[in-house]
């Protein structure tokens, strides 16, 4: 699977580590930046991944900034995106199982590299449970439909 991945300067080191990890488990990271530790504005990178996921160009995405909070806020402004900040294993599992999160967000200054790899693995491998959770997603989609009419 191709997985979009992007970060700001606070997530650069973790992004580089996760690109290698994704390849090792059979996935192709699509690196959308940033490409150094130089200070950048996280919205510029969150938007790139979120739009590609929203359009279906990428099935999933991973975003990393210092805490993960900024990237989460930006990505969730894009229609069809369900970006979840998951800095622990429990959240990684349930953001997929219950809300079918299509973008994983990590805090590069919060999560260590090994824990981040475990989080990514669980997030990729956990299927959406459907059932009562599908009904809830439909309510989110209805809200998006209402709010995105221009």
Provide the annotated active-site residues. Answer: 65, 98
Distances in Å between the Cα of 127 and the Cα atoms of 24, 99, 114 are 20, 10, 22
DSSP annotation of 120 reads H
The phi-psi region of residue 26 (left if phi > 0; otherwise alpha if psi is between -120 and 50; otherwise beta) is left
Q: What is the dihedral of CA 59, 65, 69, 72, to 10 degrees?
A: -20
- Exposure string of 12-33, with b = 16+ CB inside 10 Å and e = fewer, is bebbbbbbebbeeeebebbebb
């Amino acid at each position: 699977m191709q997985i979009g991945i992007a970060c700001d300067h606070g997530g650069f080191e973790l992004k580089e580590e996760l690109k290698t990890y994704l390849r090792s488990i059979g996935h192709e990271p699509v690196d959308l930046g940033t490409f150094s530790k130089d200070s950048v504005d996280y919205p510029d990178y969150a938007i790139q991944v979120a739009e590609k996921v929203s359009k279906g160009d990428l099935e999933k995405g991973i975003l990393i900034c210092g805490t993960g909070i900024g990237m989460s806020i930006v990505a969730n402004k894009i229609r069809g995106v369900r970006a979840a900040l998951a800095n622990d294993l429990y959240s990684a599992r349930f953001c997929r199982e219950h809300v079918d999160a299509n973008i994983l967000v990590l805090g590069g200054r919060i999560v260590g590299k090994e824990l981040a790899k475990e989080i990514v693995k669980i997030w990729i491998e956990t299927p959406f449970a459907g059932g009562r959770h599908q009904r809830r997603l439909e309510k989110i989609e209805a809200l998006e439909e209402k709010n995105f009419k221009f």
